[in-house]
Structure 1
Amino acid sequence: MQEFLLKTADLFFLIFHTGITLFNLTGWIWKKLRKWNLLTLLLTGGSWFLLGIFYGMGYCPLTDWHFRILEKMGETGLPNSYLKYLVHRLTGWDPDMFWVDTLTTTGYFLALICSVYLNVRDVRKNK
């Protein structure tokens, strides 16, 4: 029974966390989702940079919780990055951490800039 629950939790985090990541990167595209996208981007940044002061820069509670489940399932040697883990899990490729961090940070800030710009533009248009 415990194995079933762990596998279910693993699948949940795999889908949910990956979905949040994709939404962070693309949610600004759709006008109706822009406010939600900005909120998730700000929560992500708050986690990385504010909680990161206490837990290490780039800290994400979703990664922490997911990796705890994976460790209970016997996984070892998990990376510090969810995206590095995800790429390896889905493709078997073990990307260099420098490039994972660079692409993650670049993608985050580009999405944040797009989201802020379009949300401000939308508010100004509606006045």
Structure 2
Amino acid sequence: METPAEHAENLAQLIKAIESTYEVNQSEIARAIGVAPATVNAWKLGKRGSTRGPNPEKLRSLHGAFPKFSEERIFAAARRAAPGPLDEEAERRLLTLFRGLTEEQQRSKLIEMSALNEANKQ
């Protein structure tokens, strides 16, 4: 069970915890999630590189490669809200609903969803 103190950690502290828990180095973390070692090094040094911070898919990849660290904990360390779960049934329902919209409504929803997605990246 994770404590509130663990949720207060930053991404640099999380990377150090992953290294310690899994006995891996930055290069191995980078390889496991498909980024350059310099990217993991920048995260560990607290350099975000861009105003957006780490890509949400790379954060999810951290959880996939190092599952002892929850997705919520990883996103919190990166100072991002974790995206909600989307199982196959939910995805199917969304697609069914989307197909029932007019072309104009579909364009509108895509714009709205894109804006929400971008807001979550900041």
TM range, smaller chain: under 0.3
The structure whose residues are more often helix, as a share, is 1
Q: Give the alignment's TM-score, normalised by structure 2.
A: 0.24
Q: TM-score, normalised by structure 1?
A: 0.23
- Higher relative CO (CA 8 A, sep ≥ 6), structure 1 or 2? 1
